[in-house]
Structure 1
């Protein structure tokens, strides 16, 4: 099982300047995919619900906030910490970012 605090510690140690969380939201064999607005950074791409973690923020709180903002979900996410995927990328602002995803 992966402890979420370790993800943050590892990212900071590796020089990651921004954390992003996301979720695989599924029901009845279907997965929710969102399309970015055409006028947004990387407009038109399809992606899983996700968003940035505020500096010093909690990963699960950030995920809950993003799910509320993007799909109107109002209860805390159910997360299986044994299944977390991470990857690094360069954000639209040019900062190194690490994204972690967990199914829910």
Structure 2
């Protein structure tokens, strides 16, 4: 955003964020295929879940997993283990969290 609108640099704070694409356990896949988006899982996770939608993978994201940056191109590649760190923020509320494969 700041490359497009540099004058907003004093007003906006930008972050590098990431999300985890996960595959739910096989016995829960059908339930997740008809589940709604969950915008707030509660607790301290500051997390959201986007279920399987039209062939797109299930996504977990958390506001706890962000790093301030003014450069949108900085650190765009996933860090090894990053998906698992994000996924694990969701236990609780989710049980069997390690069965959700990143």
Which bracket does the TM-score occupy, shorter chain normalised?
Answer: 0.3 to 0.5
- Which structure carries more strand by proportion? 1
Which of these two proteins has the greater Rg computed from alpha carbons?
Answer: 2
What TM-score do the two structures reach when normalised by structure 1? 0.32
Scaled by the length of structure 2, what TM-score is found? 0.33
